[in-house]
Amino acid sequence: MPMRLRLTELMRESKTIKTPYAIATASGKRISLSTIYRINRSNGVVANFDAELLEALCDVFGVEPGELLERTKAPKPTKGAKRGARARHPQ
């Protein structure tokens, strides 16, 4: 099940951290600006990330990991689609 980092919501709720640049600066260079932009562009949906990023984001926003992460629902498979099925070619 995909996870989502709630960066947009936390920036909206924060009095001082309102931009990706502010996150990168407040992290003391522990988080690169490109990483923040990448996460922000994907609306916080991430496939994987390391514990250092999680810790740095928690420190920047003053939250616990449970307040930073949100579970998202996996997309439902379409009808008739079988996982790993191969197309049949007439001979």
Cα–Cα distance for residue pair 62/91, rounded to 1 Å:
64
Higher pLDDT, 50 or 80: 50
Q: pTM for this one?
A: 0.75
Mean pLDDT of the chain: 85
pLDDT value at residue 9: 94
Model pLDDT for residues 11-47, shown as the tens digit of each residue: 999 999 999 999 999 999 899 999 999 998 888 888 8
Provide the CATH topology of domain 3-71.
Answer: 434 Repressor (Amino-terminal Domain) (1.10.260)
Q: Record the tokens describing residue 25, joined without a space.
A: 């600066």
pLDDT value at residue 47: 80
Instruction: Assign 78 a pLDDT band (cuts: 50, 70, 90).
Output: low
Cα–Cα distance for residue pair 70/47, rounded to 1 Å:
13
